[in-house]
Amino acid sequence: METERGPGLVGITGDRAHYLSATRGWLRLAAFFGFLAVVVCLTDFLIDTGLRKVRTSSFGVTNQIVRGEINADILVTGSSRAQVHYDPRVISHVTGRSAFNIGINGSQTDMQVALLKTYLRHNRKPSLVIHNLDLYAFQTTHEIYDPAQYFPYLNEEPIYRAIERVAPTEAWKWRWLPLHAYATQDLRFTWLVGFKALAGFQPPETNFNGFTPRNLKWTGDFERMRGSRHEGVTFEIEPQGVKDLEEIPTICAANGIKMVFVYSPEYVEMQALERNRQEVFALFRTIANRYDIPVWDYSNSSICSERHYFYNSQHLNAHGAATYSNSIAGRLRDEHFE
Amino acid sitting at position 288: A
Point out which residues pair with 249 in neighbouring strands.
none
Point out which residues pair with 259 in neighbouring strands.
129
User: What tens digit of pLDDT does each residue of 93-127 get?
Assistant: 999 999 999 999 999 999 999 999 999 999 999 99
Q: Give how far the C-alpha of residue 319 lies from the chain's centroid of Cα atoms, to the nearest Å.
A: 24
Q: How many helices (H) and strands (E) does the chain have?
A: 14, 5
Greater confidence (194 vs 13) lies with 194
**Cβ-count burial of 153 within 10 angstroms (0-12 exposed, 13-18 middle, 19+ buried)?**
buried
Q: What are phi and psi of 76, to 5 degrees?
A: -100, 130
Nearest alpha-carbon partner for 54 in 222, 259, 204 = 204
Residue 338 scores a pLDDT above 70? no
Name the helix (H) or strand (E) containing 131.
strand 128-132
CB 212 within 8 A of CB 325: no
Percent of the chain with pLDDT over 90: 83
pLDDT attached to residue 18: 67
Spell out the domain ranges in the chain: 73-144+206-335
User: What tens digit of pLDDT does each residue of 297-336 get?
Assistant: 999 999 999 999 999 999 999 999 999 999 999 999 999 8
Which letter, b or e, does each residue of 267-287 get, where b requires 16 or more Cβ atoms within 10 Å of its Cβ? bbebeebbebbeebbebbeeb
Give the mean pLDDT of the chain. Answer: 92
Greater confidence (239 vs 224) lies with 239
User: What tens digit of pLDDT does each residue of 31-51 get?
Assistant: 766 778 888 899 999 999 999
Bridge-based pairing state of the strands 258-263 and 295-297: parallel
Give the Cα separation of 19 and 31 in Å (integer): 18
- What's the whole-number mean pLDDT along residues 280-291? 98
pLDDT attached to residue 249: 98
Instruction: Enter the pTM of the model.
Output: 0.90
Report the alpha-carbon angle 287-133-318, nearest 5: 160
Give the Cα separation of 134 and 16 in Å (integer): 74
9-13, 76-80, 215-219, 231-235 — which is least confidently predicted?
Answer: 9-13
pLDDT attached to residue 13: 60
Nearest alpha-carbon partner for 107 in 75, 144, 63, 76 = 144
pLDDT attached to residue 30: 74
In 3-state terms, what secondary structure has residue 38?
A: helix
Residue 8 scores a pLDDT above 60? no
- What's the whole-number mean pLDDT along residues 14-24? 69
- What's the whole-number mean pLDDT along residues 259-270? 97
pLDDT attached to residue 36: 80
- What's the whole-number mean pLDDT along residues 273-278? 96
Q: Is CATH 3.40.50.1110 the right assignment for the domain spanning 73-144+206-335?
A: yes
Amino acid sitting at position 74: I
Contacts of 160 (CB under 8 A, 6+ apart): 154, 171, 175
